[in-house]
Structure 1
Amino acid sequence: MALTFDPFREMDRMAARLLTSGGTQRSASWMPMDLYRSGDHYVVNVDLPGVDPGSIELDVDANTLTIQAERTIGAADGAQWLAQERPAGRYIRQLGLGADVDLERIQANYEHGVLMLTIPIAERAKPRRITVEQRGRQTSIDAGSGSEAGATAGAVAEGA
């Protein structure tokens, strides 16, 4: 027989609600996100439905990006709640950024309840070509993948 009611799980949920109510900050579970790389930048999409764009705060400190937002429930004064299932309050999420991103050029856009962050990859982290000279001839080696552009370049790289 399957038990559909787990009293311990319900106690955990109730304790979590009590500890996070009253205007305190809530966990990232309400801020689901997608993260992917597209070319020479990363894209982060964070779902923030019903959030006032003026309440969104983005801070970068020592390669940690902090996203804060607040969602309020608009009910008339004196309203009698029959159900209140949508989360409200102040939420926070932190993302650790690698050292190879350009923190000065991060862009943010909020549209249709989704916060989209574009985080460019720093120039120093992008693959580049290095010119190798050998007795008056020049060849190139792709530093990003290590592939050789000419047989003489490989001989110079191995002999160096």
Structure 2
Amino acid sequence: MNANNSMANRSQENTSAEAALLPPVDVFEDASGITLLADLPGVPKENLTLQLESDSLTIEGEVRLATPEGMESSHAEVRVPRYRRVFSLSRELDGEKSVAEFRHGVLKLRIPKAEHAQPRKIEISVA
């Protein structure tokens, strides 16, 4: 099994007037689960949300940049960048046991494989 089978990127139309940026993401897999690294520069932890529903994982974040004092914006492309990415999760993953860490603008999310999907060692008895 590879990461492409464990987690698939699902493109989803954004319903708001402002389009969200797709954060770059790396996904790594080992025998016990997957690790997702998402680059979310400038997003403070309080503006970052992870939502897990059934087999869907949504990552959303927003950067709030203030307008310099005494100035008004005549053109703004970077004032409130939003990030949003949606993934479909394999049933082999146990989203309920996910662990997330956010440091220096990088989200690290560990999603273990479900108990039934993890490799097991079978003991052999001598007859």
TM-score, normalization: structure 2?
0.73
Flag the 1:84–1:25 CA change in 2: closer, same or farther, 3 A: closer
The residue aligned with 2:64 is 72
The residue aligned with 1:43 is 35
Equivalent in 112, 116, 119 of residue 124 of structure 1: 116
The residue aligned with 2:53 is 61
Flag the 1:87–1:34 CA change in 2: closer, same or farther, 3 A: farther
How many angstroms does 1:86 deviate by? 4.1
The code of the aligned residue for 1:57 comes to T
What CA distance in whole angstroms lies between the structure 1 residues aligned with 2:51 and 2:101?
Answer: 15
Deviates more, 1:120-129 or 1:72-81: 72-81
1:81-100 paired onto structure 2 within 5 Å: 86=78, 88-100=80-92
The code of the aligned residue for 1:129 comes to K
What count of residue pairs does the alignment treat as equivalent?
113
Deviating above 6 A after TM superposition, structure 1's stretches of 4 or more consecutive aligned residues are none
RMSD between aligned alpha carbons? Answer: 2.7
How many angstroms does 1:76 deviate by? 2.0
| Structure with max Cα Rg | 1
Structure of higher RCO (CA pairs closer than 8 Å, 6+ residues apart): 2
The code of the aligned residue for 1:118 comes to R
